[in-house]
Structure 1
C-alpha cells in the first residue's frame, strides 16, 4: 500500500509541474505581446536613434526565417523578450507554490489531514497506519489531475495575448502612430531644473576643464595689474599663451643676452650706517677712517 499511495501522489505532482510550465509560457507570451504592442504604439524603435553606437545599423534589414526584419524591429524584439523573461521570473518566484498533497486536500475536503498523514507514515507498519492508507487510497481514486489546472489564469493570459495581437494588427493595417517619441525625452531632460542649463552650475568642458576653471582663468588673464617703477607704469599682465612664466636653466643658458660689467665700486655709493651699531663706542671713528682710506686707494 505504501507504493500505491506514492504512485498516486507522484502522478498528481507530475501533472502539477506540467501545469506550472504551461502557466509560465502563457505568462511569458502575454507579457511579451503586451509590451511589444506598447513599444510599437509609443514609437520605441526611435530609441536606437538616440545612441551613436547604433547609427550605422539603423535601417539595415536582416533575413530571418525567410522574412526581412529591420534592425530597429529586431532590437525591439530582443529588448522586449529580455524584459518579459525578467518580469515572468519575478512573478513565478513570488507566487505561492502548493504541492500535490496540499491541492488534493484543498479540492477534496474528505482527504484533509488524512492524505498527508498517510503519506508521511507510509513506511510505518502497524494496523492503524495500514487502515489509514487503505481508506485514503480508496477516497483518492475520484481525484483527477485536471482539477489542479487554473483555467482562470490561462483565460486571462489568452485574452491579454489576443488583445495585444489585435492592437498590432490594427497598427499594421492602418499605419496608426502616436505623436510620442523617445527622442523627445532629451528635450524634456534639458528643461528639468538643475539639468545643467543654469549658469550658476559648474559644467564640464570638452577639453576636460570646467566652467569654474574658465572663470578663474578670466580673472587671472583679465584686467592687467599695473605697478609704478621710477615713475613708469609697468604692465604685469601674463598673456594666455605665455606658459608658466618661468624659464628653465637650460633655456636661460641658450639665450644670447650681453651684459656690461660695472666698475669695481660705485664712487657715489654711501656706506651703510647699520654696521655702526655693533662697533665699540671708543673705536668707531678709528675704524671708520680706516675703511674710508681703503676706499680712496
Structure 2
C-alpha cells in the first residue's frame, strides 16, 4: 500500500474526528445547561427585565410542543456560555490542568494514534514516511516492510469509539428529558424572580402603589378621580353637591382635536396573551360606592 496516501488519509480522518468530538461536546453541554436552567426556572428572572417581561410564560403556537418564549432565550444563553467556555478551555487547557496539579492529555496526531493501536509500526511508520525520497537499500527495505504492515488498516480505527458513544448517549438522555418537558408543558415551581425581589426590593418592577388601608390604587399624578379616603363629609342628613364646576371634565371632542396635532406612533408588538393586565384592583372605598358611581354619572353627562 502507498505509504504517503495512507498517511494523508489518516491525517484527514483525524481532523474529521476532532470536529466530531467538538460537535458532540458542544451539543451535549448546551443541552445539559438548558435542562438545568429549565429545572431551576431561570426564565422567571426575565420578569425583572421590562422588555422581556411580556413574553415570560407564553409560548408560540407549535403543534404538540409547549416551548415558551423564555426557553428560546435560555437556549441562546446556553449556546453563548458553551461557546465561551469551550473556547477558553481549549486555549488555556495546559494552564487549567496545571492549576489543578494534573497533566493535560496529549494532542495526538495520526502517527501517534496509529502507532498506539499498532505497536509494530512504532517509529517505523514515521521513519518510512520521512524517507519517502530516500532510495537507499535500508530505506527501500523499510518502506517495503511498512507497506505490507499497513495493508488492511482502515482510517476508521483512528476514531475514539468510546468518546463518540458517551457523547451520543449524553445527548440522547438529555434530549429525551427536554422533549418530555416540551410535550407535557412542565414548569418548575421555583420562582427565582420572587425570591430576588423579596431580598432586594429595589429590583422589583414598578407597580401601582396600593394604599394598605383601603386597598385602592394611589397615583399622585392622576386626574381628579377620588381615590383613597374621600375628603367628603359623612354626616347624615347633609346634601352633598357632586356637580362639576364649569370647564371641568374633558370631552371626547376636545380629545379628538388635540389628537389631530399628534403624529401616530405604533406600539411595539406584544403577544396577544400578554395584553391583559395581571394586576387589577376592583375594591372601592368602603361606604362610598354609591357616591363614586353618582360622581362618574355626573362626569359623563357634562363631558
Q: Which has the higher strand share?
A: 1
Uncovered stretches (5+) of structure 1, i.e. residues with no partner: 192-297
One of 125, 131, 140 as aligned partner of 1:130? 140
Q: Is the 8 A contact 1:62 1:71 kept in 2?
A: yes
* Residue 125 of structure 2 is aligned to residue 115 of structure 1: yes
One of 30, 33, 36 as aligned partner of 2:34? 36
Secondary structure class of the residue paired with 2:52: helix
- 2:168 and 2:55 mapped to 1: Cα distance? 35
One of 21, 24, 40 as aligned partner of 1:23? 21
Instruction: Name the structure 1 match of 2:190.
Output: 180
1:134–1:15 Cα change, 3 Å = same
One of 85, 89, 93 as aligned partner of 2:87? 89
1:68–1:168 Cα change, 3 Å = closer
Q: Deviations over 1:58-87 (max 9, x none)?
A: 5676789xx996532221111111122233
- 1:104 and 1:188 mapped to 2: Cα distance? 61
Q: Which has the higher helix share?
A: 1
- 1:172 and 1:28 mapped to 2: Cα distance? 21
- 1:25 and 1:188 mapped to 2: Cα distance? 41
One of 98, 106, 122 as aligned partner of 2:108? 98
Alpha carbon RMSD of aligned pairs, Å?
3.3
Tell which structure's C-alpha radius of gyration is larger.
1
1:126–1:74 Cα change, 3 Å = same
Q: Is the 8 A contact 2:111 2:125 kept in 1?
A: yes
* Residue 149 of structure 2 is aligned to residue 139 of structure 1: yes
Q: Deviations over 1:229-281 (max 9, x none)?
A: xxxxxxxxxxxxxxxxxxxxxxxxxxxxxxxxxxxxxxxxxxxxxxxxxxxxx
Q: Is the 8 A contact 2:128 2:142 kept in 1?
A: yes
Instruction: Name the structure 2 match of 1:285.
Output: none
One of 80, 84, 97 as aligned partner of 2:78? 80
Normalised by the length of structure 2, the TM-score is: 0.54
Q: Which has the higher contact order (CA 8 A, sep 6+)?
A: 2
Uncovered stretches (5+) of structure 2, i.e. residues with no partner: 94-104, 202-303
Question: Where does structure 1 differ by over 6 angstroms across 4 or more consecutive aligned residues?
Answer: 59-64
Counterparts of 1:150-169 in structure 2, within 5 Å, are 150-169=160-179
